[in-house]
A and B are shown apart, each in its own frame.
Chain A
Amino acid sequence: MEIPEQEFLAAGHRGCAGCGATIGARLALKMLGENTVAVSATGCLEVITTPYPETSWKVPWIHVAFENSAAVASGVERALKSQGKDDVNVVVFAGDGGTADIGLQSLSGAMERGHRIIYICYDNEAYMNTGVQRSGATPYGASTTTSPHGKESFGEDKPKKNIPMIMAAHGVPYVATASISYPEDFMKKVKKAAEMEGPAYIHLHQPCTTGWGYDPSKTIEMGRLAVDTGAWILYEIVDGEFKVTYRPLQRKPVNEYLNAQKRFKHLADEEKEKIQNYVNQVCAELKI
């Protein structure tokens, strides 16, 4: 696959070393190109890329608030349409909190209305910008600052909310999961999303060195481990047709993924086994 050289997310942003969020935005923008307007929800990506008077964004970009990026994008898309600029890509970058929790209503509305927008949820599995609080996308067992482990707690006690399937249930013509550690797979999906007549939703798994607790040099590795253990699955749903887009040759034990991160370190074998069983079950259904 040919990866465009041109960059639309400039270096020099304020992200942590090894931040996966900016990798995701950078790869997506490469595929979308200059004829794009980007909308960000409040969160890490927004804050680290736009320390006024600097900006990393080489495409037009707007941020309004935390929970409304899909609604803002709706307005942008229709306004561009009203000016005959139908060919402009409107892309949203919102975190898992801005998507699965506080922004779910506006996302649902926008998807239902069928705007031609590409909504990319960069999922680092917690509210990182505000210091690693749990979100609806925080996985079972993860310790966060609002779901800490302790004498009475093993961390987050609910499984991850399945937003891509909620999007699929909206009849969104293109729904996909992706990982920053599988750039070709992700970028192909962005391209497909941009070619859709209607809305597209991509749920991008994005390791976060600070929130997950691993060495900044291991961001890509961490994303791969998630996929290779089956803890994160890469698929797409095109017009309702489900397809796994990447199958690890040999699925690794989920412990390899869990033990590499501080947020799971406290888990007892019993809890880890539960996670493995859950992963096995999902993978069996998908023949992974």
Chain B
Amino acid sequence: MKVITANRAIAEAVKLSKPKVVPVYPITPQTTISEYLATFVANGDLPAEYIRVESEHSAISAAVGASGTGVRVFTATSSQGLALMHEILFAAAGLRNPIVMGNANRALSAPLSIWNDQQDSISQRDTGWMQFFAESAQEALDLVLQAYKISENENVLLPSMVCVDGYYLTHTVEPVDIPTQEEVDEFLPPYRPKHAYLDPKDPMSLGTFTDPNYYMEARYDMEVAMEGAKNIIRTVNKEFEEKFGRKYDLVENYMCDDAEIILVAMGSICGTIKAVIDNMRKEGHKIGLLRVIAFRPFPKEDIYSTVKNADRIAVLDKNISFGIGGVLFNEIKAKMDVDARGFILGLGGRDVSNDDIRNIIKITKESTESDKINWIGLKEEEV
């Protein structure tokens, strides 16, 4: 057990996963990941090629090139860096590169903010990457190890993003159990590409030009892989639990079974929500939390089966799609018949207090406007 930040936990997981190539570019609050990895490589603790690229666009481009040769690759970024990668995120997924990336969730400019929300990764939801949201430093470590195993599964072959809330996780220390190399080696065997790779002994062309006769099938294959990834995630979660004793799933059910009101959220805010639920339960209120761990693939069945008996649900979004509201809220509403209320909160690092959570529960019970975008923590006098 070590007391470390989520950034350190991610770096430790990367070291244990033994990627061969690590192209990274620093950006707050991801920076310490890039520094830890550089130090591991410099000290010989991680025998990888660390590429000091000149931008995030080149980081992900080099990652795609390296992954194309059939080696395990890691990169990490945040916010502006992820946005700069946008174009190549599609390419990485389309080329079916099982790259794993750490993303330190941070708001996007303008106005410039280095603080947390989840707009950055949410805005990449259609690129074909899987997205996993950690609640703690331990989960960040565990999810990186599992992400490689899921991404490299030959029926998936899609890249993964492991998301950690900026500062709340990236810069806050917690006790983390770091598995041994032997354990990880048993869980995560070396990556051996079977279908597409750059090898002079077996030449093939990757990333060719397709006319309308071929493009759609490539996209369809990706959709099939993404849907199918759900079962593979469950299998990997089980294997992980057997090996390391920690339980994972696409979603976490926290006291939902008898809950009248269920909150739905992702990431570090769930710690606050759980504390509020614990207190409110003592006061006799039946409140639950459904924590979405896998945002892509979207676990609609798991969400629905967990929340369907609640009177109402409250969906908390640290992002906004202007003109329609929170993305998670709208996706849930689109996919299932639930009585939901949507909340936008925590943008650009705005604090979310226990009272805010209690307020959300109150609004959810009382509000008759199911379409309203409810802003929490907004300073009304300043808008």
Chain A residues at the B interface, C-beta cutoff of 8 Å: 34-37, 39, 46-47, 50-53, 55, 57-65, 67-68, 70-76, 78-83, 88, 105-106, 108-110, 112-113
Q: Choose among A35, A60, A70 the residue with the greatest number of B CB atoms under 10 Å from its CB.
A: A60
Please, which residue of chain B has its CB at the minimum distance from the CB of A82? B20
Q: Any chain A CB within 8 A of the CB of B276?
A: no
Contact B57 A80 (CB under 8 A): no
- Min Cβ gap A169→B in Å is 16
Cβ contacts A to B, 11 pairs, < 8 Å? A34-B200, A34-B203, A50-B209, A60-B198, A63-B209, A64-B91, A65-B88, A74-B23, A75-B23, A79-B67, A112-B54
Contact B66 A106 (CB under 8 A): no
Chain B residues at the A interface, C-beta cutoff of 8 Å: 20-21, 23, 48-49, 51-55, 57-59, 61-71, 73, 87-88, 91, 95, 197-200, 202-211, 214
Contact A79 B69 (CB under 8 A): yes
Contact A65 B65 (CB under 8 A): no
Knowing A46-B209, A51-B209, A52-B208, the reply to whether A79 touches B66 (Cβ < 8 A) is yes
Please, which residue of chain A has its CB at the minimum distance from the CB of B202? A60
Contact B210 A52 (CB under 8 A): yes
- Min Cβ gap B81→A in Å is 14
Rounded to whole angstroms, the CA-CA distance of A57 and B204 in the bound complex is 8
Please, which residue of chain A has its CB at the minimum distance from the CB of B57? A68
Contact A63 B206 (CB under 8 A): yes
Contact A109 B53 (CB under 8 A): yes
Knowing A53-B214, A65-B88, the reply to whether A75 touches B200 (Cβ < 8 A) is no
Contact B207 A76 (CB under 8 A): no
- Min Cβ gap A18→B in Å is 21
Contact B57 A64 (CB under 8 A): no
Knowing A50-B209, A55-B205, A79-B66, the reply to whether A37 touches B51 (Cβ < 8 A) is no
Rounded to whole angstroms, the CA-CA distance of A81 and B198 in the bound complex is 13
Rounded to whole angstroms, the CA-CA distance of A55 and B58 in the bound complex is 26
A-B contact count (CB 8 A): 155
Partner of B51, one of A34, A53, A74: A74
Contact B87 A76 (CB under 8 A): no
Partner of A51, one of B23, B95, B204, B211: B211
Contact B214 A52 (CB under 8 A): yes
Chain A residue contacts of B207, Cβ below 8 A: 62-64
Q: Which 3 A-B pairs have the closest CB atoms?
A: A75-B65, A109-B54, A75-B62
- Min Cβ gap B45→A in Å is 16
Contact A71 B200 (CB under 8 A): no
Knowing A79-B20, A88-B200, A106-B55, the reply to whether A74 touches B62 (Cβ < 8 A) is yes
Contact B208 A55 (CB under 8 A): yes
Chain B residue contacts of A46, Cβ below 8 A: 209
Q: Choose among B21, B199, B214 the residue with the greatest number of A CB atoms under 10 Å from its CB.
A: B21
Contact B65 A39 (CB under 8 A): yes
Chain A residue contacts of B58, Cβ below 8 A: 68, 70-71, 74, 105-106, 109-110
- Min Cβ gap B211→A in Å is 7
Chain B residue contacts of A58, Cβ below 8 A: 203
Given contacts A68-B88, A71-B53, 5 further A-B contacts (CB under 8 A): A68-B57, A71-B65, A72-B61, A75-B21, A76-B68
Chain A residue contacts of B70, Cβ below 8 A: 79
Rounded to whole angstroms, the CA-CA distance of A249 and B176 in the bound complex is 75
Q: Choose among B61, B199, B206 the residue with the greatest number of A CB atoms under 10 Å from its CB.
A: B61
Rounded to whole angstroms, the CA-CA distance of A55 and B254 in the bound complex is 53
Chain B residue contacts of A61, Cβ below 8 A: 198, 203-206
Contact A65 B87 (CB under 8 A): yes
Rounded to whole angstroms, the CA-CA distance of A263 and B301 in the bound complex is 62
Contact B200 A78 (CB under 8 A): no
Rounded to whole angstroms, the CA-CA distance of A50 and B204 in the bound complex is 11
Chain A residue contacts of B209, Cβ below 8 A: 46-47, 50-52, 63
Contact B87 A78 (CB under 8 A): no
Rounded to whole angstroms, the CA-CA distance of A76 and B54 in the bound complex is 16
Please, which residue of chain B has its CB at the minimum distance from the CB of A60? B198
- Min Cβ gap B85→A in Å is 10
- Min Cβ gap B97→A in Å is 10
Contact A106 B57 (CB under 8 A): yes
Please, which residue of chain A has its CB at the minimum distance from the CB of B23? A75
Rounded to whole angstroms, the CA-CA distance of A71 and B52 in the bound complex is 11
- Min Cβ gap B194→A in Å is 16
Rounded to whole angstroms, the CA-CA distance of A50 and B207 in the bound complex is 9
- Min Cβ gap B35→A in Å is 18
